[in-house]
A and B are shown apart, each in its own frame.
Chain A
Amino acid sequence: MEFAGSMLIQIGIFTILATSFNLIIGYGGLMSIAHPIFFALGAYGSGLLTLATGLPVPVGIVFGAAFAMMASVALALPSLRVSGDYLVIASIGFQLGVLQIIKNSDWSGGPGGLSNIPPLIHAVGRAAIWSYVVLVCIVAFATILAVRWLVSGEYGRAITAMRDDEEAFKGLGHNAVGIKLVLFAIGSGFAGLAGGLYGHYFLFVTPEQFEILYSAAMLTMVVVGGIRTVWGPALGAVLLQFLPQAINFLKLPSSVTGPLQGILFTGLVLLFLFLKPQGLLGRAPGARVIADEDEPTEAAAK
């Protein structure tokens, strides 16, 4: 039961991460892969604050989310000045640079990681785990609803217009950079929130957990579930938690299990990119949908 509870907590946390990543990369069309670092900033920010000051954990989690949000603006503001391609480069540099600082600093625990993070729920045993499951599921559900609310209605249409034709959007007098900043900040804030929830459940974080290879896992959830769909990333998160377990049951050595899991989820993305680019929950090519990127030319090719 503990295992199942832990799995559900991870699914919830990854749902928050994947949904918020979809907001940035899918709905916003912003090519950033630095999402794991905002997850890390939330976990470290919250963990360090609560450890150093003894403040209540919920305050730490909110601080972690706010910290991730501010850091995302610091990344986005300079890189959004220029072409969108630069954002991906800046995001890689930002992710590796911040990880370098975390790894080499004493205050963060260095490469060994940050331990003794205070728990959010102090009780022990089954009740504590299931309380955490409920809490994480509520936050995950709220994240999905928040993203759904943000991308629908007038603001959602503005996001789509900005993504589909930024020059035309700007030509109509709209502020594209403003929308990008909002999407980036909100998406990263949710990642920071997920980081806080993660840190205060597992009580230990290390820099390796937020490496660039971690970005692949998040991209997998979004692409396999369905980029630019509200529920797709959540489905991707569920699949990406369960599929690796199938490999775990094979009882292979850990030196084999890790790469096999990586091959499984990156291979899935590649398959989906070429065979089903709309993902599991996305609409099929040819369906009338603004968001499907490949639709017009594929239809023309036919």
Chain B
Amino acid sequence: MFDRGILLQVLWTSLATASFQVLLTIAFALVLKVTKIWNFTQPAMMGVAFYAMYVAINWLGAPLPIAILIAFLATAALGLAIERVAFATLRARGSEPITFFIFTLIFAQFVIYVLTLAFTTEPVFMLANMVSPTVLVGDVVVSTWDLHSILIAAALTFALLLLLRFTRAGQYMIAVADNADLAEVYGISRAQSYVLAMLIAALFITAAMYVFGSKLAVYPELTLHMMIFAVVATILGGIDRVFAAAVAALGINVLQQLSVLVMDSRWQPLIVFSILFVAIVFFPRGIRLPARRVADGRTATPALERAPE
């Protein structure tokens, strides 16, 4: 029905464009897993990351690596402030989820307005030259940007996997995510884990905005729309399952890109919203493999879910 070359091209392109969405999804899913907060301040962090890079390169004339470092520091500082000043205060007050929700959403919008005041609503490109050299691999056009973005996403994801599996700080984060009160009994500081989660999120967000900003134009409000994708992927992957959320982000992106073969591209965003509804109604705990299909004898679902009602 479709030309094999076109299909391969679409698949490759969706893999490349999924890279920044995978990074944003991991940032969102990790903060949710560890802090149990739906971090809708993420668009604010995304905006700060991008415009810090933009200012460093275009106004200060900084080289790209320095600009990325400045962006990370700015985003990390914002993430730290959000965690230590806002979230910690609301937690100490025992605020309801609705208060966290109002804060995160309004704070994101506040930062978007500040960025709009500073940079207007005009989309801006981060780099002067956005053209990426391409090579033909078989029937597929592969650009340098494609390779860079896939490598960055893969390297950071693998690094996070190693951090969570093999370092004490990572294991502490998982312990806090599983049961923060119990973790504290064992002398693990939940506050430190919360901060670390925000800092890692800042790193992933900076990387994502670099990948996105080195190909496409950004305007302040765009970050709010970009975050929806991360939320959908997090739900579909299953809350608490950071890497499954990343796989979901990849899957949704492939589906979205493939849709151009059968429908008008203006309806593409609707696919994400449709998936969101299907996920909420049919897979509120995400798509999970049946327990018996896990080869090493462990169950695929946590013990909590098997506990009697």
A297 touches B94 (CB 8 A): yes
Would you call A260 an interface residue if the criterion is a C-beta within 8 Å of the partner chain's C-beta atoms?
yes
Instruction: Write out the residue numbers on chain A whose beta carbons fall within 8 Å of the beta carbon of B95.
Output: 277, 293-294
Which of chain A's residues 12-30 have a Cβ closer than 8 Å to chain B?
25, 29
**Chain A residues with CB under 8 A of B94:** 294, 296-298
Flag whether A178 is at the interface (Cβ < 8 A): no
In the complex, the number of residue pairs spanning A and B with C-beta atoms less than 8 Å apart equals 131
Q: B232–A93 contact, CB under 8 A?
A: yes
Q: Which chain A positions have C-beta within 8 A of B156?
A: none
Q: Do B270 and A100 touch across chains, with their CB atoms under 8 A apart? A: yes
B168 to chain A, nearest CB (A): 30
Interface presence of A262 (CB below 8 A): yes
CB 8 Å contact bits of B220-233 with A (1 = contact, 0 = none): 01001100100110
Residues of A close to B284: CB separation below 8 A: 81-83, 86
Report the Cα distance A297→B110, complex, angstroms.
28
Task: Kindly list chain B residues whose C-beta atoms are within 8 Å of the C-beta of A269.
Answer: 102, 106
Stretch of A2-10, A58-66, A168-176, A211-219 contacting B (4+ beta carbons < 8 Å) = A211-219
Residues of B in contact with A, size category: 35 or more
Which of B92, B107, B116, B266 is packed against the most chain A CB atoms within 10 Å?
B116
Q: Which of A123-131, A182-190, A251-259 contacts B (4 or more CB under 8 A)?
A: A251-259
One of A97, A263, A298 near B270 (C-beta < 8 A): A97
Stretch from B141-149, B240-248, B250-258, B272-280 forming part of the interface with A: B272-280
Residues of B within 8 A of A101 (CB): 270
Residues of A within 8 A of B158 (CB): none
| CA distance in complex: A33, B280 (Å) | 16
From A92, A262, A266, give the contact of B231 (CB < 8 A): A92
User: B111's closest neighbor in chain A, by CB?
Assistant: A266
* Known contacts A212-B224, A263-B110, A85 near B97 by CB under 8 Å: yes
Question: What residue in chain B is nearest A296 (Cβ atoms)?
Answer: B94
Inter-chain contacts of A115 with B (CB < 8 A): none
Residues on A with beta carbons closer than 8 Å to the beta carbon of B113: 259-260, 262-263, 266
Q: Is the interface of A mostly helix, strand, loop or mixed?
A: helix
Whole-angstrom distance between the alpha carbons of A211 and B113 in the complex?
14
Central interface residue in B101, B221, B272, by most chain A CB within 10 Å: B101
When chains A and B are docked, how far (Å) is the Cα of A263 from the Cα of B94? 27
Residues of A within 8 A of B101 (CB): 31, 88
Q: Does A249 contact B (CB under 8 A)?
A: no
Contact of B93 (CB < 8 Å), options: A93, A255, A258, A301: A301
Nearest-neighbour CB distance to chain B for A302, whole angstroms, equals: 11
Which A residues touch B224, using CB under 8 A? Answer: 212-213
| 0/1 string, A47-80, CB within 8 A of B gives 1 | 0000000000000000000000000000000110
B225 and A33 contact, CB distance less than 8 A: no
Q: Is A179 an interface residue (CB 8 A)?
A: no
B281 touches A93 (CB 8 A): no
CB of A135 closer than 8 Å to a CB of B: no
B273:A96 contact, CB within 8 angstroms? yes
Q: Considering only CB atoms, which chain B residue lies closest to A298 in the complex?
A: B93
Chain A 179-216 interface residues, beta-carbon cutoff 8 Å to B = 211-213, 215-216
Q: Which of A259-302 contact B (CB under 8 A)?
A: 259-260, 262-263, 266-267, 269-270, 273-274, 277, 293-294, 296-298, 301
Residue A139 interfacial (CB < 8 Å)? no
Is A158 part of the contact surface with B, judged by Cβ < 8 Å? no
Nearest-neighbour CB distance to chain A for B34, whole angstroms, equals 16
Across the interface, name the chain A residue whose C-beta is closest to B121.
A255
Q: Name the one of B96, B120, B273 contacting A93, with C-beta atoms under 8 angstroms.
A: B273
A90 interface hit (Cβ, 8 Å): yes
- A-contact bits for B116-150, CB 8 A (1 contact / 0 none): 11001100000000000000000000000000000
Q: Is A223 an interface residue (CB 8 A)?
A: yes
A84 within 8 A of B: yes
Among B89, B93, B269, the most chain A Cβ lie within 10 Å of the Cβ of B93
- B171 interface contact, C-beta 8 A: no
- Are B266 and A89 interface neighbours, CB within 8 A? no
- How far does the alpha carbon of A297 sit from the alpha carbon of B93 in the complex, in Å? 6
Give the distance in Å from the alpha carbon of A259 to the alpha carbon of B113 in the complex: 5
Q: What distance in Å separates the Cβ of B208 from its nearest Cβ neighbour in chain A?
A: 19
Among B175-230, those with CB < 8 Å from A are: 221, 224-225, 228
A-chain residues with CB within 8 Å of residue B98 when the two chains form the complex: 25, 29, 31, 293
Chain B 43-87 per-residue mask, 1 if CB under 8 angstroms from chain A, else 0: 000000000000000000000000000000000000000000010
Residues B228 and A92 in contact, CB atoms below 8 Å apart: yes
Interface membership of A245, Cβ < 8 A = no
Taking A84-B97, A93-B277, A100-B269 as given, write out 8 further A-B residue pairs in contact, using a Cβ cutoff of 8 Å, ordered by the A residue number: A29-B98, A78-B280, A89-B231, A97-B270, A97-B276, A100-B267, A219-B106, A298-B93
Which 4 pairs show the lowest CB-CB distances between chains A and B?
A297-B94, A97-B273, A262-B113, A259-B117
Would you list 24 pairs from A and B whose C-beta atoms are within 8 A, ordered by A residue?
A25-B98, A29-B96, A82-B280, A86-B280, A89-B231, A97-B270, A97-B274, A213-B224, A216-B106, A219-B102, A219-B105, A219-B106, A223-B102, A259-B114, A262-B109, A262-B113, A266-B106, A266-B110, A273-B99, A273-B102, A273-B106, A293-B98, A294-B99, A298-B93
